[in-house]
Structure 1
């Protein structure tokens, strides 16, 4: 599993969008019981915190110690520095596994073997994520130029799984149909710029050129944004959900 986010863990925690509570509630309702959830590749612990409202215990794992330092410290969440493919979780112990915006970095075969080992009978695996941010036609055009133009050769090859809505990844589980969900928030322009700076391709570009590529479109972004203090931003949720 790759780690593209330890170097900017604080910004990741600050600027990444929040999953809708309706999505988490739907996934929780599919679980056979609410004893133990595993938030795999938890990052800043966003989903772990949401799951903690429903489950007696949550185990949240990640390979990034820096990311875990930014996670919410709650009594029923245990954070462990462990890879997705090999954990200390007990066999047949987990009701629900959630992997948020991360499965495309995994070694699929090894992770699925581990997921099947730790899930209870009728336990649920939920792979969730989100696509490209949408705001309005003017702002979207600038973001697309950054995403598909300036950064086109700086995305890791695994990013394509997001662009393909996770439909092209292997999924050896009995698949469940999931309603359509959208993440929406109200952001300032500065929040948008902060979010764009968390993109892994931005970090790859900076490393190679010693220049921030977001700066190359910032003036154009500001013109497209106009005088609005806030705008509604949205992300379409992508998901694959199934049972053993």
Structure 2
């Protein structure tokens, strides 16, 4: 498939970094308390593809130091700051020397996370980096994403039509998200996860704001406008009234069990 007709992920998320920080849902706090319970030490966490830094901020409550990296300078500029978080704009492929300059010696990271991001990575390179930096034994990697907001039957019916119209515009990497990471290669010893769901109260503009941050919609705002009237009719006359919006979360967690090897 010719990727040239699909959006450049780095450029897209840099373009909508402000809107991304404002409209993307927040991950549930129990996710981070669960992940922190899996690592025997809490010295250093690495949040890869950190975006607006929301996962890094939650991790900073449990780990002494958090590093958030992203290829998008725009995203890093809008990332939330905390005293124990450091952010870095990195190239898509980080060299071993760059890893060492950021994290110090090999096997120094307790937890690596990728929140709604890993499907865009070169997995062979990324997993090789994880192998280098994670503590052995005891290091943990966790990747997760969410999909398809659910509101009520009327709004969801319009969303399904909207999704059918826009899905072909998204990068092919989105396919693994639609499959809830079931087809995502993950060469680690699996750790049983927890069932999670994001639940937020949103008004109509906030709901549409989220839809507009999809990578396939940037530069194609006219498509969202095509559906605005239908969404508004489904939402109801008082669009300022909030509704409960639910996003199912799917999670993969793994760890090293033997020094220097995937298990």
- Which interval holds the TM-score relative to the shorter structure? over 0.9
Q: Distance in 2 between the 1:31 and 1:60 partners?
A: 18
C-alpha spacing 1:25/1:104, structure 2 compared with 1 (3 Å) = same
Q: What is residue 232 of structure 2 aligned with on the other side?
A: 222
Question: Quick check: 1:183–1:234 contact (8 Å CA) kept in 2?
Answer: yes
Instruction: Give the secondary structure class of the aligned counterpart of 1:47.
Output: helix
User: Which structure carries more strand by proportion?
Assistant: 1
Q: Distance in 2 between the 1:186 and 1:14 partners?
A: 14
Q: Structure 2: which 5+ runs fail to align? A: 1-7, 257-263
Q: What is residue 203 of structure 2 aligned with on the other side?
A: 188
Does residue 102 in structure 1 map to residue 112 in structure 2?
no
Aligned length: 238
Does residue 237 in structure 1 map to residue 249 in structure 2?
yes
Does residue 158 in structure 1 map to residue 173 in structure 2?
yes
Question: Quick check: 1:36–1:56 contact (8 Å CA) kept in 2?
Answer: yes
Q: What is residue 51 of structure 2 aligned with on the other side?
A: 43
Task: Give per-residue Cα distances to partners, 1:194-244, cap 9 Å, x unaligned.
Answer: 11110111126x2xxxx5211000000000001450100001111111002
Counterpart mapping for 1:104-119 below 5 A:
104-119=119-134
Of 210, 213, 219 in structure 2, the residue corresponding to residue 198 of structure 1 is 213
Question: How far 1:172 sits from its partner (Å)?
Answer: 0.5
Q: What is residue 193 of structure 2 aligned with on the other side?
A: 178
Does residue 28 in structure 1 map to residue 36 in structure 2?
yes
Q: Distance in 2 between the 1:198 and 1:5 partners?
A: 8
TM-score by length of 2: 0.87
C-alpha spacing 1:70/1:12, structure 2 compared with 1 (3 Å) = same
Of 8, 14, 22 in structure 2, the residue corresponding to residue 14 of structure 1 is 22
Question: How far 1:83 sits from its partner (Å)?
Answer: 4.0
Q: What is residue 65 of structure 2 aligned with on the other side?
A: 57
Q: What is residue 133 of structure 1 aligned with on the other side?
A: 149
TM-score by length of 1: 0.94
Of 85, 89, 104 in structure 1, the residue corresponding to residue 103 of structure 2 is 89
Task: Give per-residue Cα distances to partners, 1:169-216, cap 9 Å, x unaligned.
Answer: 110000111110100000000100111110111126x2xxxx521100
Q: Structure 1: which 5+ runs fail to align? A: none
Q: Which runs of 4+ in 1 moved over 3 A?
A: none
Question: Quick check: 2:9–2:215 contact (8 Å CA) kept in 1?
Answer: no
Name the Cα RMSD after superposition: 1.4
Instruction: Give the secondary structure class of the aligned counterpart of 2:217.
Output: helix
